Structure 1
Amino acid sequence: MLKTKEPDALPAAVADQIAALALTPGRPLLIVDADEVLFYFMRGLERFLESRKLYFDWQSYALHGNIRRRLDDSVVLAEELHLLLQRFFADATEDMEPVDGAAAALERLRDRMQVVVLSNVPALARQARERALARHGMPYPLIANSGSKGPAVSALLRRVPGPAIFIDDIPHNHTSVARLAPEVHRLHFVADHRLAALLGPAPDCHHRVASWAEIHDHVSALLVGT
């Protein structure tokens, strides 16, 4: 869910992670986000905020402007919010709840696809995210991305030309991928129904989905004939 800037250049640290992946040329690729796709980001964030006498106001999809102090309802400003989110990822990444049906759907799809998790998790929490993925039955390669996701998806396609599907909750990530890797099929999914209600389908997605059961069926239909 965390918003990021949109550089066109692929960060060197991300390029190194992609180069190190063991990928099979020609095998369909599923590129899947983590926060609000594989893990319930907002549920974890709300628990974290409550422990600090803060709350999420639910006035929009954005984090900035919606995190407030219970004492006086004042908004947590940008600089403090950045530090707060870094602490959240450091403390709570490994404890986020898995999204219903995600592990089971990916397990069924992995017979026909290779799965890569592309997450904007901070580098300090990468190992915690890997442990959480493994513990919840999703031991797939993780790329700790920085910035919007078009550059990373484009780089993955250079490694694995062929059919690819991208799943993410952030609309501007769909726009970035549409611009830099337009051949990728883009699914917009927001696991938390409260968040999903705050925005419509991403303008540059191909399809909006509401559950992992729907994702499984949609992706399976796309794989017919590949």
Structure 2
Amino acid sequence: MSQIPDRIPPLPAPVAEQIAGLTFTAGQPLIIVDADEVLFYFMRGLETFLTGRDLYFDWASYALYGNIRQRADDLPVAAELLHPLLQCFFDEATESLEPVDGAAAALETLSAKGRVLVLSNVPMSARQARQRALQRHGMDFPLIANTGPKGPAVAELLTRAAAPAVFIDDIPHNHASVAKLAPAAHRLHFIADPRLAALLGPAEDCHHRAETWPDLQRLITGLLEPT
């Protein structure tokens, strides 16, 4: 894989503003961690949300589209209705999602080795709810509400930090984006919900697939400890 990133597209203004508001310590490594299915059990919350609307998740694949179905006739929710449905879910349920087992304890320990940043594709309308949830569950780290693939944001963070970085995410296309635009970041693939994890193998562009937060903690410690 090439270590020379392609031209980095401009960041959306809200993402750029959030990153510009951060301060960095020269040489301090970054631990850039996703939220849904990494710090919080997204699918557990989504299933509860869907049940209250006479919908269910089919578990036929990793994708949301096609798997969110109507109980009345088993037909998938139409594509044009999916985005507003998910927006409603984030607005209503973000603050109440369960934290992933071991995440807070691992990040507390790892924060002594690097700067922890939460890079989440949570809608801006639910950003404050996500920050409150992070605080409530012992993960009070800076939150960047991102839009789209995460490569541009990670590339900007690496440029500003000028330090090693670890990236943790459940979505393969985010690993591909980071591999393309910020290849120096060490990419760890993690999916908290075992039902969801069983639907997908290791991301093609990750360096390692982890199964638990203790596994992630061990890997990240090894990457960031001086040799």
Q: Which runs of 4+ in 1 moved over 4 A?
A: none
Separation (CA, whole Å) in 1 of partners of 2:72 and 2:26: 55
Separation (CA, whole Å) in 2 of partners of 1:41 and 1:22: 29
User: Would you say the 8 A contact 2:15–2:147 is kept in 1?
Assistant: yes
What letter corresponds to residue 80 of structure 2 in structure 1?
A: E
1:127-170 CA-to-partner distances (Å, cap 9, x unmatched) read 00000000000000000000000000000011101110000000
Separation (CA, whole Å) in 2 of partners of 1:16 and 1:119: 15
What letter corresponds to residue 51 of structure 1 in structure 2?
A: G
1:100-146 CA-to-partner distances (Å, cap 9, x unmatched) read 00000000010111000000000100000000000000000000000
Match for residue 189 of structure 2? 188
Match for residue 150 of structure 2? 149
What letter corresponds to residue 107 of structure 2 in structure 1?
A: L
RMSD over aligned Cα, in angstroms? 0.9
Identity %: 67
Separation (CA, whole Å) in 2 of partners of 1:116 and 1:163: 13
Match for residue 139 of structure 1? 140
Match for residue 40 of structure 1? 41
Separation (CA, whole Å) in 2 of partners of 1:19 and 1:25: 15
SS of the equivalent of 1:100 reads coil
Instruction: Report deviation, 1:80.
Output: 0.6
The gaps in structure 2 that reach 5 residues or longer are 1-7
Tell me the TM-score normalized by structure 1.
Answer: 0.96
Separation (CA, whole Å) in 1 of partners of 2:127 and 2:91: 9
Match for residue 123 of structure 1? 124
1:191-218 CA-to-partner distances (Å, cap 9, x unmatched) read 0000000010000000000000000001
User: Would you say the 8 A contact 2:151–2:179 is kept in 1?
Assistant: yes
Match for residue 160 of structure 1? 161
SS of the equivalent of 1:156 reads helix
Separation (CA, whole Å) in 1 of partners of 2:9 and 2:150: 9
1:79-111 CA-to-partner distances (Å, cap 9, x unmatched) read 111110000000000000000000000000101
Match for residue 52 of structure 1? 53
Separation (CA, whole Å) in 2 of partners of 1:144 and 1:218: 26
Superposition map of 1:174-213 within 5 A? 174-213=175-214
Separation (CA, whole Å) in 2 of partners of 1:199 and 1:71: 29
Match for residue 74 of structure 1? 75
Instruction: Report deviation, 1:37.
Output: 0.2
Separation (CA, whole Å) in 2 of partners of 1:33 and 1:223: 19
Instruction: Report deviation, 1:22.
Output: 2.1
Instruction: Point out the more displaced range, 216-225 or 114-123.
Output: 216-225
Match for residue 217 of structure 1? 218
Tell me the TM-score normalized by structure 2.
Answer: 0.95
1:36-74 CA-to-partner distances (Å, cap 9, x unmatched) read 000000000000000000000000000000000001101
What letter corresponds to residue 159 of structure 1 in structure 2?
A: R
Superposition map of 1:100-119 within 5 A? 100-119=101-120
SS of the equivalent of 1:167 reads strand
Instruction: Report deviation, 1:18.
Output: 0.3
Separation (CA, whole Å) in 1 of partners of 2:206 and 2:9: 19
SS of the equivalent of 2:189 reads strand
The gaps in structure 1 that reach 5 residues or longer are 1-6
Separation (CA, whole Å) in 1 of partners of 2:110 and 2:186: 16
